[in-house]
Structure 1
């Protein structure tokens, strides 16, 4: 009986531990052949994506149209990525007069929107363990 009472606080402490952290490896394909910077923004909710409030952002050099990024220690959950290749070096996604991108861009799940960016649900990736994904720029 005493052993059971001694284990209860231990069990409660284990239940209070945060979910384990996971790593996300992102491979980018079909970027420009010329050197360019690749920008990635990670979102943890539909509201964050709609309001452009990234949980984190990263950048990497694209070489021969490809790049790889490793995002470490994310809490398990659902995430969406939006990204682009900065082909002219101004650190932003350029658009034409209609608001359409003039530089290559992409989303996780290679999601495509209708008359705008894809929804969070279309781009969301479930992370419950380390994962590798590929984003093809368009």
Structure 2
């Protein structure tokens, strides 16, 4: 007589497999953004980067994501992974004195190096979202270079 138990059944295996196939396209949509920032200060600084995904959040300074990176010789590279397709904009600045903020003069003009995606330039203010916006496509690698001024 055989007293071994019957083989284990996995009743949810088919459902799990079907769910994986159903959601696979959503996972594949993630794109990666590689950012290079150049023309920073010659002395070491910290780069602050803010990523926005729409005009309202850009205007209200409500970041989708933010990162910092060392700028040992005026250049830095970093990445944002798994972005949904859409329009994005970046704001960056090099914190040259280590106080964690973009310093300005009495007129409100930055005294530390800063920049925007598309190397957008504003007129006595930051450029708008549309000027700085770039398109990220599904399942792609997007490279952006920002020159600090």
Q: Distance in 2 between matches of 1:121 and 1:108?
A: 10
Tell me the CA shift for residue 120 of structure 1: 0.4
The correspondence for 1:51, drawn from 52, 57, 60, is: 60
What is the TM-score with the length of structure 2 in the denominator? 0.81
What is the SS of the residue equivalent to 1:82? Answer: strand
- Summarize deviations over 1:57-95 as a string: whole Å, max 9, x none: 000000210000011111111100001000000000001
Instruction: Identify the residue that residue 132 of structure 1 maps to in structure 2.
Output: 143
What is the SS of the residue equivalent to 2:146? Answer: strand
Larger radius of gyration: 2
Structure 2: give runs of 5+ residues left out of the alignment: 1-17
Structure 1: give runs of 5+ residues left out of the alignment: 1-8
Q: Distance in 2 between matches of 1:14 and 1:119?
A: 35
What is the TM-score with the length of structure 1 in the denominator? 0.87
- Is 1:88 the counterpart of 2:89? The answer is no
Instruction: Identify the residue that residue 14 of structure 2 maps to in structure 1.
Output: none
- Asked if the contact 1:19/1:76 (under 8 Å) is kept, the reply is no
- Asked if the contact 1:77/1:127 (under 8 Å) is kept, the reply is yes
RMSD value over aligned CA atoms? 2.0
Q: Distance in 2 between matches of 1:37 and 1:28?
A: 12
- Is 1:29 the counterpart of 2:38? The answer is yes
Number of matched pairs: 129
